[in-house]
A and B are shown apart, each in its own frame.
Chain A
């Protein structure tokens, strides 16, 4: 055995998954990424079958293939599945699979978190579909508008399955976002400064931040609706001070960024593939990065364009209309950059290239109809008609499915080491392309002829027969094309020809690895000096294979990855990531049990399960090998191991997770002030006044606990300070509880009571987390490697105090200002 063979064998030993059922304990990004993708594709097939049923029903007037009740369930599950269980998770999976490989890292920073996210996603999807077993599939549309989905009009369990299953799947999206942000910012190969980062990493960085701020409003809205349904708390019931429009605001605060959360990863894939297929660099890397960041921001200013018909003042509609059109500018910048990249090139019409062209045609049309419906007066004409259905499918299938399928053909030779069939691939593309356009181009016309969405049938003689029949035929052609694609993918694992190394002559680091990639990706981490490492240094693959680079030492015994600085990617720490463990699966299973307990109204089970999650989380945080302070990361370079670094990855992870928490707090505040503008009596006369002096005393105690934590941290982790902070927090909570509700709050009485209780509950959950963490700090002895843990705990603590000051401060002071 040569030295390099020995190194690879040892790395394999450290990084491999366990065999057989033990593979379920895998946490490695390659395995988890592939699991996300495969599961996502399975849900895509299910969602597609639902679509076939819809098109069968609509093919003829007065058709009785399904009744109206089943039809409602069909379109609800179709939309929900495609958005939450296919599009987002599959793209996250692609990102998890590709990002470390593109960045020159061996894994993501929180492998257990990605595994936990995967299981939550799987359990959430299964929970949603288990509604079929109870004949209780949700039927309120994928956006679940209240009051239709409230307790009065949907007394069954359908909405509960939706709310609980989808929230569980969203936990997965938020955890993936935290994971992706920290991995992209902190584990790029040395020298890969921000201006050399692959565009796909830029796209995913923007998307991950969008998930962090976009998903929490929906998570909150789902929790509020579930509380209204299960316990009668008032949030959306207008007779008791609530407002159903709050649901629409919170839903679309998520829902519009969601469209770009789906499109931008695909745009990142396109920006990676197009230059390689054209054989030249992207026409303007900088312009694409500017466009990605701009879309990330602007997409948060569009949500009301889904609500043009609900009676909001015209000037406010104009703000959202303006932002909706403005977002077309950065999107156009990207499209024109891709065209400019391809313009002087003579790309071969390979299968990925066909999908790129398919994307151009379909997505651009979807973008143009998007600008049309961004105009409020036009939207009023086509609102809730099939025109909108056609538009959104052009955007989503054009903007996501075509690029994704192109990406499959582009990266399959890496993932499997084999080539799919060129013939079958092209046939699949053309069937999909023709079928798609037949279905949805015609559907614009159906909408213009006035056919509304979500109706299960129509009468003959109003001119809707032919367009509907054509759309249905096209839908089946599209389905046959998709089936051909899936067959090609499955068959190629067995019958595909062996792929040559770097078959597309690409410039990015993933093509330095053997195919399929080993679980550790790289035997050594490269030093990056250019934006196109493989074009500028083709000998890199061989050097890395020999273990020449960072962390290429000959006796690896732990899963080590390199931590680098945020902007310039200078090596700063060695991060030891955990190996195979059952903790993620176990924690996700217990989390799901809690959600099921809630669904079944077995609140003892829910309480028990959430206590279990807390215990498992402690075990999770506690476990970790004791590591030396420093190690040699390369000849002449000694680096600290992550527990000894002042900012370990966990600190960054906590910071990002708190960003999501802050969004929930901000959404709660939005709800409070929204009610104020629409509810005549706010606060209602039934609401007893709070005790201001006592409340202020409580806020001071709250702030004091933060000061104590700060002092404890300054003195290197003082246990006494943690204990005092703990007591101060307990005292603050008791004082504030007394101050806020001298006469009692009844969340079933009025929306004011309900949202005040929601404020208190959200703050209380954070207090609980701080108390747990504080107890651990007070209990464990001081040690230099625990400094990082103190920092992470302090971050959580200070955030909790700030959030408490804001939420409780509003409850105490705002009614006195009115």
Chain B
């Protein structure tokens, strides 16, 4: 049954990725500003925003993978089955998490840090 628990845990991986991205972004920004990291510049981008963008790209890639795998498993399962329901939930949550992550990514592109 614990194995079953593991499998079912998969449905909340997407929002957990959003949560990790959110908390890490906020922490990185707060610590970066406290340590004056924005002074380091490369390719017209400061270090803090560079790291934030990397973090966002990683989260987006993970969510896209998750969405793809949910679609693949979902299609092969019987309509109305519990497993298909779970795959749909996982897919839907990936889409919503993706939107929320990209929204934060947009802020990183548009707004300077530490001001």
Contact status A194-B85, CB under 8 Å: yes
30 example contacts (A-B, Cβ-Cβ < 8 A) are as follows A193-B82, A194-B82, A290-B93, A290-B96, A294-B15, A294-B92, A294-B93, A297-B15, A297-B16, A297-B18, A297-B19, A298-B100, A301-B19, A314-B115, A315-B108, A315-B113, A318-B110, A318-B111, A319-B104, A322-B106, A323-B22, A323-B104, A326-B99, A326-B100, A566-B1, A566-B5, A566-B8, A567-B82, A673-B31, A676-B34
Contact status A313-B103, CB under 8 Å: no
Chain B at the A interface: SS class: helix
The CA-CA distance from A565 to B5 in the complex, in Å, is: 10
Does A647 make an interface contact (CB < 8 A)? yes
Closest B residue by C-beta to A674: B30
The CA-CA distance from A322 to B107 in the complex, in Å, is: 8
Using a CB-CB cutoff of 8 Å, which residues 75-92 of chain B contact chain A? Answer: 81-82, 85-86, 88-89, 92
Q: On chain B, which size bracket covers the interface? A: 35 or more
Does B114 make an interface contact (CB < 8 A)? yes
Q: Which residues of B contact A125 (CB under 8 A)?
A: none
Using a CB-CB cutoff of 8 Å, which residues 299-348 of chain A contact chain B? Answer: 300-301, 313-316, 318-319, 321-323, 325-326, 329-330
Partner pick for B92 among A290, A315, A318, A566, CB 8 A cutoff: A290
1/0 per residue B16-40: CB within 8 Å of A? 1011001001110111011000000
Q: With A286-B88, A294-B15, A318-B107 known to touch, is A565 a contact of B96 (CB < 8 Å)?
A: no
Q: On chain A, which size bracket covers the interface? A: 35 or more
Contact status B93-A567, CB under 8 Å: no
A-B contact sample (14 more), CB < 8 A, given A566-B5, A566-B8:
A194-B86, A286-B89, A290-B96, A294-B97, A298-B18, A298-B100, A301-B22, A313-B29, A314-B115, A319-B29, A319-B104, A322-B104, A326-B103, A673-B27
Q: Which of B15, B27, B100, B113 has the most CB of A within 10 A?
A: B100
Contact status B111-A315, CB under 8 Å: yes
Contact status A293-B115, CB under 8 Å: no
Contact status B1-A568, CB under 8 Å: no
Contact status A323-B100, CB under 8 Å: yes
Does A714 make an interface contact (CB < 8 A)? no
Partner pick for B89 among A289, A322, A568, A678, CB 8 A cutoff: A289
Q: Which 7 A-B pairs have the closest CB atoms?
A: A318-B107, A290-B92, A195-B85, A297-B15, A322-B103, A326-B100, A677-B34
Does B65 make an interface contact (CB < 8 A)? no
Does B4 make an interface contact (CB < 8 A)? yes
Does B58 make an interface contact (CB < 8 A)? no
Does B54 make an interface contact (CB < 8 A)? no
Closest B residue by C-beta to A330: B96
Q: Which residues of B contact A (CB under 8 A)?
A: 1, 4-5, 8, 11-12, 15-16, 18-19, 22, 25-27, 29-31, 33-34, 81-82, 85-86, 88-89, 92-93, 96-97, 99-100, 103-104, 106-108, 110-115
Contact status B99-A329, CB under 8 Å: yes
Using a CB-CB cutoff of 8 Å, which residues 205-256 of chain A contact chain B? Answer: none
Q: Which residues of A contact B85 (CB under 8 A)?
A: 194-195, 286
The CA-CA distance from A194 to B10 in the complex, in Å, is: 14
Closest A residue by C-beta to B22: A301
Contact status B96-A313, CB under 8 Å: no
Q: With A301-B19, A566-B4 known to touch, is A293 a contact of B93 (CB < 8 Å)?
A: yes
Contact status A293-B112, CB under 8 Å: no
Chain A at the B interface: SS class: helix
The CA-CA distance from A74 to B12 in the complex, in Å, is: 42
Partner pick for A195 among B16, B22, B82, B103, CB 8 A cutoff: B82
Q: Give the distance to chain B from A185, nearest Cβ to Cβ, in Å.
A: 10
Q: Give the distance to chain B from A546, nearest Cβ to Cβ, in Å.
A: 30
The CA-CA distance from A568 to B1 in the complex, in Å, is: 11
Closest B residue by C-beta to A294: B96
Q: Which residues of A contact B106 (CB under 8 A)?
A: 322
Does A611 make an interface contact (CB < 8 A)? no
Q: Which residues of B contact A349 (CB under 8 A)?
A: none
Q: With A294-B96, A319-B107, A677-B31 known to touch, is A300 a contact of B8 (CB < 8 Å)?
A: no
Does A287 make an interface contact (CB < 8 A)? yes
Partner pick for B114 among A296, A315, A321, A568, CB 8 A cutoff: A315
Q: Which residues of A contact B115 (CB under 8 A)?
A: 313-315
Contact status B30-A316, CB under 8 Å: yes
Closest A residue by C-beta to B30: A677
The CA-CA distance from A325 to B107 in the complex, in Å, is: 13
The CA-CA distance from A194 to B88 in the complex, in Å, is: 13
Contact status B19-A300, CB under 8 Å: yes
Using a CB-CB cutoff of 8 Å, which residues 552-609 of chain A contact chain B? Answer: 565-568
Q: Give the distance to chain A from B22, nearest Cβ to Cβ, in Å.
A: 5
1/0 per residue A672-688: CB within 8 Å of B? 01001110000000000
Q: Give the distance to chain B from A674, nearest Cβ to Cβ, in Å.
A: 8
The CA-CA distance from A301 to B22 in the complex, in Å, is: 7
The CA-CA distance from A676 to B33 in the complex, in Å, is: 12
Q: Give the distance to chain A from B110, nearest Cβ to Cβ, in Å.
A: 8
Q: Give the distance to chain A from B59, nearest Cβ to Cβ, in Å.
A: 13
The CA-CA distance from A287 to B103 in the complex, in Å, is: 21
The CA-CA distance from A568 to B104 in the complex, in Å, is: 37
The CA-CA distance from A565 to B7 in the complex, in Å, is: 14
The CA-CA distance from A323 to B25 in the complex, in Å, is: 13
Contact status B29-A293, CB under 8 Å: no
Contact status A290-B89, CB under 8 Å: yes
Contact status B112-A315, CB under 8 Å: yes
The CA-CA distance from A566 to B12 in the complex, in Å, is: 15
Closest A residue by C-beta to B25: A319
Contact status B92-A286, CB under 8 Å: yes
Contact status A565-B1, CB under 8 Å: yes
Q: Which residues of A contact B5 (CB under 8 A)?
A: 566-567
The CA-CA distance from A289 to B107 in the complex, in Å, is: 29
Q: Which residues of B contact A301 (CB under 8 A)?
A: 18-19, 22, 100
